[in-house]
Structure 1
């Protein structure tokens, strides 16, 4: 059983079947993503934030893939934006759904994220934040909106950052397809058999 299945428990069946499959077997999603930046000061801050995350800033649409797997009770998301640096995130479960949360570590930032399931989709809800291990108020960081859901058989996702008064800093979103994966017997870990780009 995968770490996501264990965390959700009986609530796992509320996710769309394709999201269930993804988090049972792991896999590689790929496609194009749209990048949008705010205007004025919001855009300047958005470009800086995107650059720190390894997200390209010169094009409005880029190739994207994310490798998803779990190991040692940790969910791994490795994101590749075109030819930019890889953005690694690790998610560790705490408690169980619907009252538990995930601890996401991406670089120096750690977030405690609850999950709301809406019409089969997975919607993150930030609860707490740490920077270099020091607890900080959420309002010191850009507000994050993120979800993944299934639309017309594809994995639709959205990640956006905004600040009060300034509005949208930047966002990336797209509809992705799942590549074929093979699983190791008696393990929830998946190995992608398609060649990496």
Structure 2
């Protein structure tokens, strides 16, 4: 059986993660998880433009979230639904990094597992898949995944220089 995208990126540390993280990132085929989330978008007009380019959801508090995962070992597609607002990303492994295509932007993340938590750190960024952007501009883009009280929990924050906060969203998921 071919390893999942997250098994390819994290390698051996993947198998020491808490149950909920291994279950979510071990999906093969189709899986659906659901929970609750809060989203806060930045107010700067440039933040709005960046949010539109990456298809980020608007500000919403304590709303239902549902994610359908479609995974085949080479790639994963995440169909997120935040109270009816859709956000899709495509993920795959390249050169030991997690690549995520989100709207017009492609990120490459180094993933680190420590104390039962996965941390995502930006290594490279491309606009339209071809135009490289300075990764240091995206040092304020971070993600943390962990297990809390038996549930998968996520926190995503994106801040850019001169623009400030693009988005911050957090919440929890469990198998639907």
Which category of TM-score, normalised to the shorter sequence, fits these structures? Answer: 0.7 to 0.9
Tell me the residue number matched to 1:130.
126
> Using a 3 Å threshold, how does the CA distance of structure 1 residues 65 and 6 change in structure 2: closer, same or farther?
same
Structure 1 residues 5-154: aligned runs within 5 Å: 5-26=7-28, 27-38=31-42, 42-57=43-58, 59-71=60-72, 73-84=74-85, 86-95=86-95, 100-132=96-128, 133-140=130-137, 143-154=140-151
> Using a 3 Å threshold, how does the CA distance of structure 1 residues 34 and 110 change in structure 2: closer, same or farther?
same
Q: Secondary structure at the match of 2:132?
A: strand
Q: Shift of residue 20 of structure 1?
A: 1.2
Contact 2:56 2:167 in 1 (8 A): no
> Using a 3 Å threshold, how does the CA distance of structure 1 residues 66 and 178 change in structure 2: closer, same or farther?
same
- Equivalent residues, number: 171
TM-score normalised by structure 2 residue count: 0.82
Q: Shift of residue 34 of structure 1?
A: 0.9
Q: Shift of residue 123 of structure 1?
A: 1.1
TM-score normalised by structure 1 residue count: 0.74
Aligned mates of 1:18, 1:46 — CA distance in 2: 33
Q: Which runs of 4+ in 1 moved over 4 A?
A: 139-142
Stretches of structure 1 that go unaligned for 5 or more consecutive residues are 180-197
Q: Shift of residue 128 of structure 1?
A: 0.6
Structure holding more strand per residue? 2
Q: Shift of residue 78 of structure 1?
A: 1.5
Q: Shift of residue 47 of structure 1?
A: 4.0
Stretches of structure 2 that go unaligned for 5 or more consecutive residues are none
> Using a 3 Å threshold, how does the CA distance of structure 1 residues 164 and 6 change in structure 2: closer, same or farther?
closer
Q: Secondary structure at the match of 2:58?
A: coil
Contact 1:149 1:155 in 2 (8 A): yes
Tell me the residue number matched to 1:187.
none
Q: Shift of residue 124 of structure 1?
A: 0.6
